[in-house]
Amino acid sequence: MTVIDQKSPSRRRVTVKDLAKDLGMSVSTVSRAFYPEAIVAPATRKLVLERARAIGYKANPYAQSLITKRTQIVGLVVADITNPFYPEVMTRLTADLQVLGMNVMLVSANATEKVDDAVHLLLTYQPDLVIILAAALSSRAVQECSEAGSPCIFFNRLSGDAAEHGVTCDNVAGGINVADYLIDLGHQRLLYVAAFPEASTNVERRKGFCERAVERGIAAPSVIEAGSFSYEAGFAAAKKIGELPEVPDAAFCANDIVAIGFIEGVRSLGLSVPDDISVVGFDDIAMAAWPQHSLTTVRQPIDRMLAVTVEFARKLAGDPEAPGEVHRIPPGPLIERGTTKRRRAR
């Protein structure tokens, strides 16, 4: 490593030593002043804090973490974020964690197989906590996190592991609400448009929806497997309507993006939404409200999910050994827009 690689010493950061010398105190005392639980004379503490602020002293977090074994870093793992729901979660979560003095190290894996490698790299930075957004993690990777002492929180996607920490919408309840809503509107032939089969969100919404329909005494909804959470998948799914035993009069799609694609696919078939088929999505992303789409959908309780996650993060960062716990937030309201319509009694 050559001299050029070194940052020029002229703009050396101020260290505890500098601050201590400046104040004529020992390094120990100065350091203690920054820890509320440490014992220092109140007057001394005040002096130190004031002077620190004045000359711009900030403890080097790397030196700190070498000793405390805590990094104030939370690793955020994201994979597929074509759903606009995720960027919002990502940035808001980051902003909220910053307020708590936690910093976010972002790890992105476009291909799912790469998630494990990415997590490995992340662990090198000893995050106090890892949050998994919209991604699947191999159980090996989860294991690795736990061995490294970094608990994982799964956000909006559960792995089903007993020991896992998670925050998610109560998707079963969401599915139930949609079934009730559509049946109350007079629909009889329901369809569920499924997305990524392994996603718990997909599985749970389907479960709530289908089981509720049966409970209400109508035929079990038919299911079309779109395969993923994307516009294209939704669009393609619509083409399979013809293969169904009978044309449905209402469809619940795994999320908004799928719904928007599905609707366009339905229309390309010469059918009308909502006249022939009512369509409901899930998430209530911003574009669902655009006049072009005017999508009836279930609102994701994002504010509460975020608040719970942040609180949970704070707790787990302080107690990495806490037993697995999954928070299920009740879904937001069903927002009725232009893609659903009452059916006449027949």
Partner DNA sequence: CTGAAAGCGCTTACAG
Summarize as ranges the residues that interact with DNA (CB under 7 A): 1, 12-13, 15-17, 25-29, 31-32, 34-35, 38-42, 44, 57-60, 63-64, 66-68
- Measured between alpha carbons, how far is 187 from 345 in angstroms, rounded to an integer? 9
Which does residue 326 bind out of a second copy, DNA, none, counting CB within 5 to 8 angstroms by kind? none
Residue 108, judged by CB atoms within 10 A of its CB (0-12, 13-18, 19+), counts as: middle
- Angstrom CA distances, 34 to 44, 57, 97, 128, stand at 11, 11, 21, 20
- Measured between alpha carbons, how far is 277 from 188 in angstroms, rounded to an integer? 11
Nearest distance from residue 23's CB to DNA, in Å? 9
Specify the residue, 58 or 239, whose C-beta has the smaller distance to DNA: 58
Nearest distance from residue 208's CB to a second copy, in Å? 29
Which does residue 108 bind out of a second copy, DNA, none, counting CB within 5 to 8 angstroms by kind? a second copy
Specify the residue, 12 or 344, whose C-beta has the smaller distance to DNA: 12
Angle subtended at Cα 276 by Cα 272 and Cα 278, rounded to the nearest 5 degrees: 95
3-state SS, 16-44, equals: HHHHHHHHCCCHHHHHHHCCCCCCCCHHH
The token pair that represents 295 in the structure block: 């999508």
**Chain residues that interact with a second copy, rule: CB under 8 A:** 1, 4-8, 11, 13, 35, 37, 58, 60-63, 65-66, 68-71, 76, 78, 81-82, 84, 86-87, 90-92, 94-95, 98, 103-110, 114, 118, 121-122, 124-126, 147-149, 231, 260-261, 264, 268, 286-287, 290-293, 318-321
Helix 256-268 / helix 231-238 crossing angle, nearest 10 deg: 40
Which does residue 7 bind out of DNA, a second copy, none, counting CB within 5 to 8 angstroms by kind? a second copy
Specify the residue, 41 or 220, whose C-beta has the smaller distance to DNA: 41
Which does residue 188 bind out of DNA, a second copy, none, counting CB within 5 to 8 angstroms by kind? none
Q: Largest Cα–Cα distance of the chain, in whole Å?
A: 90
- Measured between alpha carbons, how far is 129 from 270 in angstroms, rounded to an integer? 51
Question: Which residue spans within the chain are E strands per DSSP?
Answer: 73-78, 103-108, 129-133, 152-155, 165-169, 190-194, 222-225, 250-253, 278-283, 296-299, 326-329, 334-335
Which does residue 34 bind out of a second copy, DNA, none, counting CB within 5 to 8 angstroms by kind? DNA
- Measured between alpha carbons, how far is 56 from 44 in angstroms, rounded to an integer? 18
Nearest distance from residue 235's CB to DNA, in Å? 51
Specify the residue, 118 or 169, whose C-beta has the smaller distance to a second copy: 118
Which residue in 158, 160, 137, 201 sits closest to 150, CA to CA?
137
- Measured between alpha carbons, how far is 221 from 44 in angstroms, rounded to an integer? 71
Which does residue 57 bind out of DNA, a second copy, none, counting CB within 5 to 8 angstroms by kind? DNA
Nearest distance from residue 79's CB to a second copy, in Å? 9
Specify the residue, 96 or 170, whose C-beta has the smaller distance to a second copy: 96
Which does residue 294 bind out of a second copy, DNA, none, counting CB within 5 to 8 angstroms by kind? none
Specify the residue, 47 or 271, whose C-beta has the smaller distance to DNA: 47
Specify the residue, 105 or 185, whose C-beta has the smaller distance to a second copy: 105
Phi/psi region, residue 88 (left: phi>0; alpha: psi -120 to 50; beta: rest), is: alpha
Nearest distance from residue 76's CB to DNA, in Å? 24
Nearest distance from residue 311's CB to DNA, in Å? 24
Which does residue 231 bind out of a second copy, DNA, none, counting CB within 5 to 8 angstroms by kind? a second copy
Specify the residue, 72 or 108, whose C-beta has the smaller distance to DNA: 72
Residue 297, amino acid: T
DSSP strand pairing (296-299 vs 334-335): antiparallel
